[in-house]
Structure 1
Amino acid sequence: MFRDNEGFARFMDRWTSVMYAKSEALFELRMNDLRCEFGNVKGLTDYLDNTWVKTYKEKFVPAWTNRIMHFGETTTQRVESAHSTLKLHFGNSQTNFETLWSVVDGILRIQHNNINASFELSLNVVQYEYFDKLYRRLRGYVSQRMLKLIRDELERGDDVEHDSTRCGCEIRTTHGLPCAHELNLHKFVGSPIPFEDIHVY
């Protein structure tokens, strides 16, 4: 199919850039570039178009997946991992209901305890970088992970200023968190980020 590893590596780079396109226009542009560059590889672009692009692009390309709230979970890996754990604990398909219930209950209790421990950590441990007054209303109420996402978005704010079109509001849509242009407004006014700006989940 490819003459050498370099050709395959170049194809994978192009395909990866298609898969991570953040807008439909960018997706189409990159896909057309890929078609032009690798159109001579027999069946490749037809396979990509017919098997992946036409059927599944809305399920894995950020241009589409970032239009819905997914809290950063864009793969089924967590579900597959949980399924694998259950299968491992069940042992075989002949297990009775009482044993199944006991196993599932035990796994859920462990998961619940881990979540509680994570929340406890978020309540009691505040990293130095979140002592800024901007985070005052969020400290102790929002997980460390969410604070980090907000901080990362705040750092991106210098590029977008107060312009929502340049911002894209991706984190607002996907995570229910204030995006760069919203954070810039709080920073400009000098007010803490309101707790109400954070999605309840």
Structure 2
Amino acid sequence: MKPGKEKELCTHLVNKMIFGDKRDVFDENLELFKSLSSRKDFQSKEQLEDNDDDSTKVVEKRTLEKYFEDEWMPCKEKWAGYLTSQLKHFGCVTTQRVKSGHNALKRKISALQSLNSSFEQICSYILQFEGDYQNLELNEATITDARIYHEPRLHRLIHHVSRIGLITICAELLEEVVPGELCNCRVKVVFGLPCRHDLPRDRMLLLSDIPERWILSSSLGERLKQLECDVSLQKIDIEKPAPWVKCITKLEQLFRQCEGNQQVQNLMAMVDELVDNAGEIIDHPNFVFPLA
């Protein structure tokens, strides 16, 4: 391999593995890495070997795997903190997830108690955590936002997909798709959900259209059945949503994206300004708010 090509190839592989947002992309690069890892001619490493009289140059043939560990692992360790602070997963970065769980556990443990008491307290915390998770899953399966019932394309997903997943998909269905638009939607990149460019518009959505991570564990069996369902039988007529529905949904999305009280206050100030400017319209005797 020509000099410089090994660094270029490793850079390409690392970037695609880090920033790839689909499983098939990762699998493709993993197979490429495996196929190259056994090659002995990847890079030559020159070493000096001292003899009695002269120093001779020894050339060591390194595989891709050895080259990656020698040259790229220090780079990975150096930038790991930066990468985890930039890449989000389910709306949070990795550091936030770890710190949140660590702080929650520390609040349950006293620094003055014995080691046995600490383990008992950790066990109690885990049991309570599992119970809270089961209650949360039950609420996700039984409580549904009223807007979801008014969207016929989501009827097959109710009580099977998590609440925030349904709300996010419902908001994407209200968005119009611009022909030729570059798809880099936050919904797909951050949450791994189908965005407005991927969602079918003229049929009911099935569990097979939704990634498995967003489906409640009790409904995974139903998802397997729907993988063989004929989607052509799910065609329905869709009415165009009213403009006010899109506005309310967009406002809710902006509120969910706020990070901290200051952003919430800024958003509410913008809403108050819009309401004040629309006062003359709202006070009109013929103006009637639509039912939710």
| CA pair 128-86 structure 1, distance change in 2 beyond 3 A | closer
CA RMSD of aligned residues (A): 2.6
CA distance in 2, matches of 1:162, 1:133: 25
Match of 1:197 in 2: 209
Letter of the 2:142 counterpart: N
**Map of 1:106 onto structure 2:** 124
Aligned length, in residue pairs: 134
Give the distance between the partners of 1:88 and 1:128, measured in 2 at CA: 37
The structure with the greater share of residues assigned to helix is 1
Q: What letter matches 1:199 in structure 2?
A: P
Q: How far did 1:195 drift?
A: 0.9
CA separation of 1:95 and 1:173: change in aligned 2, threshold 3 A: same
What is the CA distance between 1:126 and its match in structure 2? 2.1
Query: Does the C-alpha gap of structure 1 residues 103 and 139 become closer, same or farther in structure 2, counting only changes over 3 Å?
Result: same
1:167 aligns with 2:177: no
Matched-pair contact (CA < 8 Å) for 2:144–2:158: yes
Residues 135 and 192 in structure 1, CA contact (< 8 A), matched pair in contact too: yes
**Letter paired with 1:196:** S
CA gap 1:59/1:78 in 2 versus in 1, 3 angstroms: closer
In the other structure, the counterpart of 2:7 is none
Where in structure 2 are there 5+ consecutive unaligned residues? 1-77, 214-292
1:154 and 1:193 map into 2 onto residues whose CA distance is: 11
- The structural deviation recorded for 1:89 is 2.7
TM-score by length of 2: 0.40
Map of 1:179 onto structure 2: 195
Structure number with greater CO (CA < 8 Å, separation at least 6) is 1
For residues 171 and 97 of structure 2, the distance between their equivalents in structure 1, rounded to whole angstroms, comes to 24
2-structure distance, mates of 1:90, 1:60: 28
TM-score normalised by length of structure 1: 0.56
Q: Alpha-carbon deviations, 1:62-100, whole Å to 9, x = none?
A: xxx26xxx222225234223222322332127631x323
Quote the residue 1:124 is aligned against: 142
Alpha-carbon distance, 1:179 to partner = 0.8
Gaps of 5+ in 1: 1-53
Q: 2: distance between equivalents of 1:122 and 1:90? A: 30
| Aligned match for 1:80, one of 78, 86, 99 | 99
Please identify which structure carries the higher strand content: 2
After superposition, what is the alpha-carbon deviation per residue over 1:144-198, rounded to whole angstroms, capped at 9, x for unaligned? 111122123233x31x3465x4332442343221111122xx22x2x11221222
Distance 1:162 1:200 in 2: 29
- Given that residues 161 and 180 in structure 1 are in contact (C-alpha distance below 8 angstroms), is that contact kept between their aligned partners in structure 2? no
**Equivalent position SS for 2:188:** helix
The aligned residue for residue 149 of structure 1 is: 168
